[in-house]
Structure 1
Amino acid sequence: MISEQAAAVEEVPVTLSNYSKRLILKTLLGRCDCGLGLVGERVVIGGWVKSSKEVRKETAPPPMDVDDGIAAPKDVSCVEILQSRISFFRSIMKVLGGGGHYPIREKLDSGIPKPPPPSIAILQVSDGSCVASLQVLVDSEIAPPSQLRPTGTCVLVEGVLQQSSMEGKHAIELKAEKILHLGIVDQDKYPLSKKRLPLYMLRDCSHFRPRTTTVASVMRIRNAMIQATHTFFQNEGFLNVQVPIITCTDSEGFSEKFQVTTLLGKQSKEDQNAVDGTAGVSLEVVKASIKEKSKQVEELKRSESNKEALAAAILDLRKANELALQLEPKENSISGTSLKIDKVNFSEDFFSRQTYLTVSGRLHLESYACALGNVYSFGPRFQAEKSESKKFLAEMWMIELEIGFSQLEDAINCADDLLKFLCKWVLENCSEDLIFVSKRIDKTVEDRLQSVTSSSFEKMSYEQAVEVLKQVTDKKVEAQIEWGVSLTEEHESYLADEIYKRPVIIYNYPKGLKPFYVRLNDDGKTVAAFDVIVPKVGTLIRGSQSEERLNMLSTRIEELGLPKEQYEWYLDLRRHGTVKHSGFSLVFDSLVCYATGLTDVRDVSPFPRSCGKANN
């Protein structure tokens, strides 16, 4: 039986990754003892070099045979004696004045290049599992320091953990015994070789930027929030439903959409047969040829010396003109294809009808809420709006949900609970990354997250918000506000950041500002919709109670001039077993901005897609 004292000092075994058989650095460096309890363990670690330096090994003097403190005599050759006395002989020659006549070689050149002095490469290696890096010592006899040291070099190292041999922030280090893999870097072309590139420059190399400490921390926080999202909904009894990315329904009714088609760039067999003989021929080249042939014909006509050459030139000119007539309609049709989408026959398309990338999944979620009760979805949504806003991407990830048998107030309460749960989760599970982003990006991040979890949200109607903003005389709010006008980012920021300094919930918007499916209130002017506005980010959540009355919904579709055939399936939900239900959409990328202090959604998206930017 092991005593309590022995159990207390027993070393904790090393935990390896199940699939790569290496030690994940987080399990080592995240320990309370910073890994000191594992000193002496043989491990394999893998990662990328963040920084490095090389130090010269101190060569110990040759050992002497000692007997009672007196060095034992040693046999030496005449050459060795002469080499050891060269400096003495040189001094004598200088004194005698013969130094210039009898030069003495300082060393005997054997013709073999001298090997570089032994050294140690000290590498700071990160595997992306945590902010901290592990110090790895590699002797030059194991691998050349010149290959190991460049930033970004990938190494898989086997060695023994030992207490740090030098003063600094590292309590433990790895003394390498084997290099199992080495992925070298071309320093001249590797974009992260420069120190501390700004985030806007990293956007042009999104495939490398997660190797930076800042982006890695943001992605770990993002991952934690994804996990928290699923945890919240599963704990509350919601079912996860995957809504379609390709849809034939305009979910918002007035959004800019991405068209999905296989027709553009295709040609009918008849067109292809007509063009087969002109493949690879440019209309511009043919026109230039016509111009040259015309000059040639004119010159031959003036000379009247070679009728056969003139006849051949006229024939060539005629053929060139015919070719131009064939090519011109072809190029016009190609150039006009992308501009005349309304004239495309979509019955010949892949889906036999017009389809888009989805803007919102809430309409499709409604069909499952009307059968399963409470449902949610998490995935990408797309808008083809040409916006330069730091809060907008063409592809943004959304958390969307629908609650069966619920009204507007229920959706508002759910939004409140979800936001507080997510902020609390990050505070409890991402402490190391929050400390880093607080130092590097925004020192108020933790306080802001803490305030969301502990304080109540400000609630007001749209009408009340307009009245509050009308009273503002501060020059910070330049945009005029009237009832029926959308709140600008400036208005939202002033309410959340300046006046209330906490999240603000605004509800009962004018019906003209919200989608067609939102339930009309009894006043006939406003609808049961709400927005959650948070400091520094703006509108984070948009939600509503959906219109369950068939006649009201049909009227709204007609008022807005929407194609009713697109929404027949949606109207069927009202015709057969209708139910009151509500829900909302949370912009996940903006939430990550809020949790990290970043102000541009392009810096929190793994592969941001914006107007003119889709590099990989």
Structure 2
Amino acid sequence: MESQEPQVKNSPVLPWMYTNRVALKTILESGDGETGLIGTTVVVGGWVKSSKEVKKEPLPPPQSPPPAAADAFPAASHGTKDVNCMEILQSRIPFFRTIIRVLGGSASSPAVRQKLESLIPKPPPPSVFFLDINDGSCVSSLRVVIDSAIVPVSAGQILPTGTCILAQGVLGNPSAVGKQTIELTVEKILHVGTVEQDKYPLSRKRLPLDSLRDYPHIRPRTTTVASVARIRNTLDFASHTFFQNRGFLHVQVPIMTTTDPEGFSEKFQVTTLLGETSKKESPVGVSDADGVNLETVKAAIQEKSSLVEQLKRSDSNREALAAAVQDLKKTNELAQQIETREKSKPVTAVKPDLVSFNADFFGRQIYLTVSGRLHLESYACALGHVYSFGPRFRADKTVSAKHVAEMWTVEAEMAFAQLE
């Protein structure tokens, strides 16, 4: 009876532009349902979000043929079924054991036979790897199944979270009951990008969002940050679509400006004078004066002065007196350095009445824009209905943790409009 192999269909999914890789979104969110892609050969890629290894049960040793028909090398089968190297090796194990019995003899010790048997190459136990990979095209992940007996790959190379793979395989029904409705059985691995699991932060579960600021290069791989980016993309597109469908013209307003449309909000000032000042000023004091309180140094001076007076009255140890005088001198110098540093501290804020902005980059005071209303009004008088969508900055200090200094705002202006 001939083996029924699944017929590979022509791929109904198109690969991404500039690559032969198929986006996971076209597989997991296909319009005709995922079952219509069963039997399709595709090339997918992505990074591993979760993984699992399942050990396969070893195959039973093949039974040896009768003595009359036994042969060192059995004849090759004329069937159409292909065999791999693992099956060939296992079929030769009885032949190797026969050689060991001949060389070792029946009278040889068990230790010799055990040593000879250890020389026989034992095939590694096969495993099946289940990987959930994602390429960023959608929220869902695709289950990828890799059989180590078919695709030679090690667990340490493919299982760590964050490993990037590019594989070719056939889509089929899931082998286990779960959330997945389709999975990919890998036939060939085209590329593997390994990671060091102990240094990869996303391998730890429930990583706090605050700690993700230290890893900006992999932060978008988290579900939270990726979902926020997708939601924001949808809101941006919907905002532009709303105004474009109603005849508004999108214009860009300056981010750095000299105007304050609201007149009462706190603004971020843009200047290059602070950088020039820090370059020209030389550091005051030495490293010993950094982080030392002046009151503490003064108290130490009084204690050291009392010690010097006691040593002078006793006149017993001149070496101790000289050391105490030298220590008191260094402490007085440290106090002078701290006083000089406190007096020469720069002003924390740039005050317009104390700084001349003529030497600044723009020659005047420049701020990060709070609103583009004034610019939009001039555009509206010339172009009609206009809108702007961009970043706005406010330096309002607040105790709320939800307050942000930078926000994206939609502003619109209409000329000659009558609102009833």
Q: Does the 8 A contact of 1:120 with 1:137 survive in 2?
A: yes
Q: Is the 8 A contact 1:346 1:354 kept in 2?
A: no
| Corresponding residue SS for 1:367 | helix
Residues 346-361 of structure 1 correspond to what in structure 2 (within 5 A)? 346-347=356-357, 348-361=359-372
Question: Residues 262, 59 of structure 1: CA spacing in aligned structure 2 closer, same or farther, 3 A cutoff?
Answer: same
* One of 179, 186, 189 as aligned partner of 1:178: 189
Aligned-partner Cα distance in 2 for 1:189–1:180 = 20
Q: TM-score, normalised by structure 2?
A: 0.70
* Residue 405 (structure 1) aligned with residue 411 (structure 2): no
How do 1:435-584 and structure 2 match up within 5 A? none
Give the Cα separation in 2 of the matches to 1:265 and 1:294: 43
TM-score (norm 1): 0.50
The corresponding residue for 1:453 is none
Q: Which of the numbers 236, 239, 248 marks the counterpart of 1:229?
A: 239
Moved more, 19-28 or 348-357: 348-357
- Residue 22 (structure 1) aligns with: 21
Cα-to-partner distance string for 1:114-151 (whole Å, 9 max, x where unaligned): 66411121111111211322221223353222332233
- Is residue 394 of structure 1 aligned with residue 405 of structure 2? yes
- Per-residue CA deviation, residues 54-100 of structure 1 (Å, 9 max, x unaligned), is 12234444556889xx99435667965999xxxxxxxxxxxxxxxxx
CA-to-aligned-CA distance 1:532-569 (integer Å, 9 cap, x gap): xxxxxxxxxxxxxxxxxxxxxxxxxxxxxxxxxxxxxx
Match of 1:139 in 2: 147
CA distance in 1, matches of 2:330, 2:95: 97
Of the three residues 120, 123, 132, the one matched with 2:131 is 123
Amino acid at match of 2:17: N
Q: Does 1:148 align with 2:172?
A: no
Out of 222, 238, 244, the residue aligned to residue 254 of structure 2 is 244
1:280 equivalent to 2:287? Answer yes
Match of 1:73 among 42, 48, 70: 70
Q: Tell me the CA shift for residue 364 of structure 1.
A: 2.4
Q: Distance in 2 between matches of 1:78 and 1:309?
A: 88
Tell me how far 1:188 sits from its aligned partner. 7.1
CA distance in 2, matches of 1:376, 1:170: 45
Query: Is 1:157 the equivalent of 2:166?
Result: yes
- Alpha-carbon deviations, 1:461-489, whole Å to 9, x = none? xxxxxxxxxxxxxxxxxxxxxxxxxxxxx
Q: Which runs of 5+ in 2 are unaligned?
A: 1-7, 73-93, 102-108
Partners of 1:24 and 1:127 within 8 A in 2: yes
CA separation of 1:357 and 1:121: change in aligned 2, threshold 3 A:
same
Deviation at 1:309, TM superposition (A): 9.8
1:382 aligns with 2:393: yes
- CA drift of 1:344 comes to 4.4
Give the whole-Å Cα distance in 2 for the aligned partners of 1:215 and 1:312.
Answer: 62
Letter of the 2:127 partner, please give it: S
Residue matched to 1:588: none
| Separation in structure 2 between the aligned mates of residue 216 and residue 270 of structure 1, nearest angstrom | 45
SS in 2 for 1:393: coil
Q: How far apart are residue 35 of structure 1 and its match?
A: 6.7
Report the alpha carbon displacement of residue 399 of structure 1 after superposing the two structures with TM.
1.6
Show the 5 A alignment for 1:31-70. 31=30, 32-34=32-34, 36-37=36-37, 39-43=39-43, 45-62=44-61
| Whole-Å separation in 2 of the counterparts to 1:370 and 1:340 | 37
The residue matched to 1:337 in structure 2 has which SS?
A: coil
Q: Is contact 1:150-1:187 (8 Å) kept?
A: no
Deviations 1:386-427 (A, max 9, x none): 445576422221122222222555xxxxxxxxxxxxxxxxxx
Alignment of 1:258-277 (within 5 A): 258-264=268-274, 267=277, 271-272=281-282, 275=283
Higher-helix-fraction structure: 1
**Take 1:248 and 1:294, find their aligned partners in 2: how far apart are those partners?**
59
What do the CA deviations read for 1:443-476 (whole angstroms, capped 9, x no partner)?
Answer: xxxxxxxxxxxxxxxxxxxxxxxxxxxxxxxxxx
RMSD: 4.4
Judge conservation of contact 1:65–1:71 (CA < 8 Å) in 2: no
Residues 323, 120 of structure 1: alpha-carbon distance in 2 compared, 3 angstrom cutoff: same
Cα distance, 1:293 vs structure 2: 6.0
Q: Is contact 2:54–2:128 with CA below 8 Å preserved after alignment?
A: yes
Counting only pairs closer than 5 Å after superposition, residues 278-427 of structure 1 correspond to structure 2 as: 278-282=285-289, 284=292, 287=297, 294=305, 297-299=308-310, 301-303=312-314, 321=332, 324-334=335-345, 337-338=347-348, 341=351, 344-347=354-357, 348-387=359-398, 389=400, 392-407=403-418
For residue 402 of structure 1, what is the amino acid of its counterpart? E
**2:167, 2:189 within 8 Å by CA — same for their partners in 1?**
yes
Q: Please tell me whether the aligned partners of residues 121 and 138 of structure 1 are also in contact (alpha carbons under 8 angstroms).
A: yes
Would you say the 8 A contact 1:52–1:149 is kept in 2? yes
Shift of 1:280: 3.4
Aligned length: 371
Contact 2:27 2:37 in 1 (8 A): no
Change in CA separation of 1:258 and 1:176 when aligned onto 2, cut-off 3 Å: farther
Q: Distance in 1 between matches of 2:351 and 2:370?
A: 19
Q: Deviations over 1:555-586 (max 9, x none)?
A: xxxxxxxxxxxxxxxxxxxxxxxxxxxxxxxx
Amino acid at match of 1:41: T
Q: Do the aligned partners of residues 171 and 81 (structure 1) sit closer, same or farther apart at CA in structure 2, a change above 3 Å counting?
A: same
C-alpha distance in structure 1 between counterparts of 2:326 and 2:63, whole Å? 102
Q: Contact between 1:239 and 1:375, CA under 8 Å: does it hold in 2?
A: yes
Looking at structure 2, the residues matched to 293 and 350 of structure 1 have their Cα atoms a distance apart, in angstroms, of 52
What is the deviation of 1:290? Answer: 5.1
Q: Which whole-Å CA distance do the structure 2 matches of 1:166 and 1:214 have between them?
A: 30
Q: Partner residue of 1:552?
A: none
